[in-house]
Amino acid sequence: MELNKYIDHTLLKATTTPKEIKKLCSEAKEHNFFAVCVNSCYVKLAKDELKDSEVKIASVIGFPLGAMSTPAKVAEARQCIEDGADEIDMVINIGKLKAGLYKEVEREISQIKKAIGDAVLKVIIETCYLTDDEKVVASKASLNAGADFVKTSTGFGTAGATYSDISLMKNTVEDKMSIKASGGIKDRKTAERYIELGANRLGTSSGIKIVTSN
8 A C-beta contact, residue 57 and residue 36: yes
73 carries an active-site annotation: no
d(CA 42, CA 50): 12
d(CA 192, CA 123): 22
29 carries an active-site annotation: no
Active site residue: 73, 148, 151, 165, which one?
151
DSSP secondary structure string for all residues of the chain: --GGGGEEEEE--TT--HHHHHHHHHHHHHHT-SEEEE-GGGHHHHHHHTTTS--EEEEEESTTT--S-HHHHHHHHHHHHHHT-SEEEEEP-HHHHHTT-HHHHHHHHHHHHHHHTTSEEEEE--GGGS-HHHHHHHHHHHHHTT-SEEE---SSSS----HHHHHHHHHHHTTSSEEEEESS--SHHHHHHHHHHT-SEEEES-HHHHHH--
Active site residue: 56, 122, 135, 180, which one?
180
> Residue 124's beta-bridge partner residues?
91, 151
89 carries an active-site annotation: yes
Active site residue: 89, 113, 135, 148, which one?
89
Residues labelled catalytic = 89, 151, 180
